[in-house]
Amino acid sequence: MPLPERHSAARELRAGMTAVLPLLIGVAPFGLIYGVLARGTGLPVAMAQAMSLLVFAGASQFLAVGLIGTGAPWPILLLTTVIINLRHLLYSASLAPHMRPLRPLWKWVLAFLTVDEVYALAISRYQRPPAGATGEVHWYYLGAGITLWASWQSSTAIGIYLGAKVPAAWGLDFTLALTFIGLLMPALTDRPSRTAAATAGIVAVLGWSLPLKLGLVLAAASGIVAGMLVERGFAAARTAGGTSPES
């Protein structure tokens, strides 16, 4: 392999690791709290850590621990896992065109690392790659993914170890909502995307009490449809000869 290519791969890997660092101050406390909660419901240490290793999905792990605590049967546990993680189908589909040229092993590994934050970083890098990084973005994706994975494992372990020593009054769980706010705002690039976000947010609040977190699925679907409708409205206005509406 020629040297310049290797250099840009290493640079992308480092860029991915750096990009994920600020997100870790949102993710690490969340991992910590997961560990605390898991121990609180009486889940054995090995199982609590195994769930982080194998499932590697924060929201889903929180719900699972809650369900196990209330003694829910396994079909409910698995069904909840499917529904809360359905958004990963969307992530997977949206990354797919960019990942087409990759070898299968890359696809299998990167897919495993695709949590919300890694998805948000990877897709925005794929959409707007910096000069010279085109074709090497999978290294960025890998760097962000393994860094987040390692931090999730270690913060979970610390939480399991600390047990109930982290006071709930600190409100550390709020860091995750703030992380998502930090990722959401830059994604609101035009009026269709802002409409998608507003619609999804409102539907999510209205559908919050639906069972099995179905509200999230419904909200994501409504948001996407709303965004497409507004975009189509723009296209129609343009072809009709009108001035393009301000976004």
Partner 1 sequence: MSSPALWLAIVAMGLITYGLRVSMIILFGRVAMPEVLRRALRFVPPAVLAAIVLPELLIPGGRFALPPDNARLVAGVVAAGVAWWTRNVFLTIGTGMALLWVLQLILRS
Maximum Cα–Cα distance for the chain, whole Å?
66
Nearest-angstrom CA–CA distance, 121 and 144: 8
Buried b (16+ CB within 10 A) or exposed e, 116-137: bbbbbbbbebbeebeeebeebb
DSSP 98: H
Q: Please identify which residue in 10, 54, 150, 236 interacts with partner 1, judged by CB under 8 A.
A: 54
Under a CB-based contact definition with an 8 Å cutoff, are residues 62 and 202 in contact? no
Minimal distance in Å, beta carbon 68 to partner 1?
7
Minimal distance in Å, beta carbon 78 to partner 1?
6
Of residues 135 through 164, those in contact with partner 1 by CB under 8 A are none
Listed ranges 5-13, 82-90, 136-144, 147-155: which one lies at the site for partner 1 (CB under 8 A): 82-90
DSSP 59: H
Is residue 69 a contact point for partner 1 (CB under 8 A)? no
Q: Backbone phi, then psi, for 96, in 5-degree steps? A: -50, -50
Buried b (16+ CB within 10 A) or exposed e, 41-62: eebeeeebbebbeeebbbbbbb
Instruction: Name 177's Cβ contacts closer than 8 Å, sequence gap at least 6.
Output: none
- Residue closest to 58 by CA, chosen among 41, 74, 78, 38: 38
Nearest 5°: CA angle at 61, between 56 and 65?
150
Listed ranges 51-59, 134-142, 151-159, 239-247: which one lies at the site for partner 1 (CB under 8 A): 51-59
Per-residue binder mask for partner 1 (CB under 8 A), 101-140, x = binder: ------xx-xxx-x-x--xx--xx----------------
Nearer to partner 1, 198 or 212 (CB): 198
Q: Please identify which residue in 82, 150, 162, 237 interacts with partner 1, judged by CB under 8 A.
A: 82
Listed ranges 1-9, 80-88, 136-144, 150-158: which one lies at the site for partner 1 (CB under 8 A): 80-88
Nearest 5°: CA angle at 176, between 67 and 107?
80
Residue type, 162: L
Is residue 11 a contact point for partner 1 (CB under 8 A)? no
Nearer to partner 1, 2 or 100 (CB): 100
Nearer to partner 1, 10 or 21 (CB): 21
Minimal distance in Å, beta carbon 2 to partner 1?
26
Minimal distance in Å, beta carbon 7 to partner 1?
27
Minimal distance in Å, beta carbon 144 to partner 1?
13
Nearer to partner 1, 9 or 227 (CB): 227
Q: Please identify which residue in 228, 236, 237, 238 interacts with partner 1, judged by CB under 8 A.
A: 228
